[in-house]
Chain A
Amino acid sequence: MSVDDKTVHRIARLARIAVPEEEISSLGTELNAILGFIEQLSEVNTDDILPMTAVVETEIKRREDAVTDGGYVKDITANAPASDDDYFAVPKVVE
Chain B
Amino acid sequence: MSASKLTDLSLAEARDGLRQKDFTSEELTQAHISAMEAGRKLNAVILETPEKALDMARASDAKLSNEEGGALEGLPIGVKDLFCTKGVRTTACSKILGDFTPPYESTVTQNLWDAGAVHLGKLNNDEFAMGSSNETSCFGPVNNPWRNKAKETNLVPGGSSGGSSASVAAHIGVAATATDTGGSIRQPAAFTGTVGLKPTYGRCSRWGIVAFASSLDQAGPITRTVRDSAIMLGAMAGHDAKDTTSIDTPVPDYEAALGANLNGKKVGIPKEYRIDGMSDEIEELWQQGIDWLKDAGAEIVDVSLPHTKYALPAYYIIAPAEASSNLARYDGVRYGTRLEGDNLLEMYEKTRGAGFGAEVRRRIMIGTYVLSAGYYDAYYLKALKVRRLISEDFKQAFEKCDVLLTPATPSSAFAIGENLDDPLAMYMNDVFTVTVNLAGLPGISVPAGLDAQGLPLGLQLIGQPFGEEALLGMAEKIEQAAGFDARPDVWWE
Contacts and interface: CB of A to CB of B under 8 A. Distances in A.
Are A and B in direct contact (Cβ within 8 Å)?
yes
Interface of A: 1, 3, 7-8, 11-19, 27, 30-31, 33-35, 37-44, 46, 49-56, 58, 60-61, 63, 72, 75-82, 88, 90-93
B486 interface: no
B385 A46 contact: yes
Given A16-B349, A31-B366, A41 B334 contact: no
Given A44-B389, A90-B347, A80 B423 contact: no
Contacts of A11: 365, 368-369, 372
Contacts of B248: 58
Contacts of A55: 201-202, 215, 391, 438-440
B341 A91 contact: yes
Interface stretch (B132-140, B225-233, B352-360): B352-360
Which has the most chain A C-beta neighbours within 10 Å: B331, B335, B369, B381?
B369
Given A58-B247, A79-B100, A12 B341 contact: no
22 contacts: A7-B369, A15-B365, A16-B328, A17-B352, A18-B354, A27-B362, A34-B316, A34-B362, A41-B313, A44-B385, A44-B389, A46-B386, A49-B389, A52-B391, A55-B201, A56-B247, A58-B202, A61-B241, A79-B99, A81-B336, A81-B337, A91-B342
Contact of A44 (B310, B361, B423): B310
Contacts of B370: 38
A56 B245 contact: yes
A44 to B, nearest CB: 5
A52 B353 contact: no
Nearest to A77: B334
Contacts of A18: 349-350, 352-354
Nearest to A80: B334
A1 B247 contact: no
A65 to B, nearest CB: 15
Given A17-B365, A52-B391, A55-B439, A80 B385 contact: no
Nearest to A3: B369
A33 B424 contact: yes
A23 B296 CA distance: 56
A13 B309 CA distance: 33
Contacts, number: 169
Contacts of B344: 90-93
Given A82-B338, A91-B342, A41 B310 contact: yes
B364 interface: yes
A51 B381 contact: yes
A70 B334 CA distance: 16
Contact of A19 (B247, B338, B353): B353
A56 B202 contact: yes
A31 B354 CA distance: 19
Q: Which DSSP category, helix, strand, loop or mixed, fits chain B's interface?
A: helix
Given A16-B349, A17-B365, A41 B383 contact: yes
Contacts of A75: 103
B387 interface: yes
Given A27-B362, A72-B103, A79 B335 contact: yes
Given A1-B375, A91-B340, 6 more contacts: A7-B369, A49-B389, A52-B385, A55-B391, A91-B344, A91-B347
Contact of B316 (A38, A43, A52, A80): A38
A44 B307 contact: yes
A56 B197 CA distance: 19
Nearest to A82: B338
Contacts of A41: 310, 313-314, 317, 379, 382-383, 386
A40 B103 contact: no
B101 A79 contact: yes
B368 A15 contact: yes
Contacts of A72: 103
Given A31-B365, A72-B103, A90-B344, A17 B334 contact: no
